[in-house]
Structure 1
């Protein structure tokens, strides 16, 4: 009888753990939908990276720019460096941004704006049950990038834009090179 009771207790104890499931927690290091990585180069010396000065990037239809740093005022929308990462729309096949060089400069003649439209296709890629899906982007075969200076009478400050990688599936490499 003692053996039967002990067996029933062990069996009941074992079954109490059988309903537990593995926690579905997405690791913070899991790759998610990648941003577009853009590097800036000197137009006159194409192998040399060149810093942009007070670059502000504003999405079409938006009033505020992309936040590039932890400042608490309008400085958070400005970046000065050789590389930026910006998101692409996950619900459309095109994203348009205004790239404003020397944004906030007291002399309006020194502020240059180019409007860039990135055209692409989207594909959902399953990551895991915990993380769900991510979207990868492929630049369109034609009209990958459409550039317009603002105003149209002013010359473009981005003199050449080159697609380095058509498939945007991670943020570990440069996708676009801009020469100015």
Structure 2
């Protein structure tokens, strides 16, 4: 009887551990779908970075802009001030359109400039891990990577020149787009 009880306990113990699995938690440091990284430069001296002032970036179909300042509680959370920004591309389409509004919120409407930029690309899903799933990598369309226009069309573009620096968007550690203004 004692032998049967020992075998039964050993069997139950073995069975209970056989159903355990490793926890599937995606580490926060795991690279996921990269955002598009912009740097802004002075058009009169192309090697000098230039800060944008109160830049608001709104995606097509969005009512509010991309959040650049998560700690802000008012509309300033949508404003970028600096010479570098990162924005996401759509992972379910081959184009993404954004309005870039310079001097957003200025009380003088003539000082507010809006350019609309459409990015054309192909997508590739890459398996990261069971915990993290897939990430999407992008490659700009070599024949028509960017379509750029001023809004309204009667105004001049504030982004005077846009340069694609990296056609493959596979990480956020490098500049993909340079904007000269």
Question: Shorter-chain TM-score category?
Answer: over 0.9
Q: Residue 46 of structure 1 aligns with which residue?
A: 46
Q: Residue 76 of structure 1 aligns with which residue?
A: 77
Q: Residue 154 of structure 1 aligns with which residue?
A: 155
SS of the aligned residue for 1:48 comes to strand
Matched residues in 2 for 1:5 and 1:50: separation? Answer: 78
Deviation string 1:35-63 (CA, Å, 9 cap, x unpaired) is 11101011111111100000000111221
Matched residues in 2 for 1:43 and 1:110: separation? Answer: 18
What's the offset of the Cα at 1:21?
Answer: 1.1
Matched residues in 2 for 1:47 and 1:109: separation? Answer: 28
5+ residue gaps, structure 2, are: none
Q: Residue 21 of structure 1 aligns with which residue?
A: 21
Say if 2:34 is the partner of 1:34.
yes
Matched residues in 2 for 1:12 and 1:154: separation? Answer: 77
Matched residues in 2 for 1:97 and 1:39: separation? Answer: 16
Q: Residue 172 of structure 2 aligns with which residue?
A: 171
Name the TM-score, length of structure 1 as normaliser: 0.94
Matched residues in 1 for 2:92 and 2:4: separation? Answer: 62
More divergent stretch after superposition (136-145 vs 5-14): 5-14
Alignment RMSD (CA, Å): 1.4
Q: Residue 122 of structure 2 aligns with which residue?
A: 121
SS of the aligned residue for 1:173 comes to coil
5+ residue gaps, structure 1, are: none
Structure 1 or 2: more strand by fraction: 2
What's the offset of the Cα at 1:14?
Answer: 2.6
Deviation string 1:84-114 (CA, Å, 9 cap, x unpaired) is 0101111110000010101111111111111
Name the TM-score, length of structure 2 as normaliser: 0.93
C-alpha change, 1:61 and 1:9, in structure 2 (3 Å) is closer
Q: Residue 58 of structure 1 aligns with which residue?
A: 58
Matched residues in 2 for 1:114 and 1:12: separation? Answer: 68
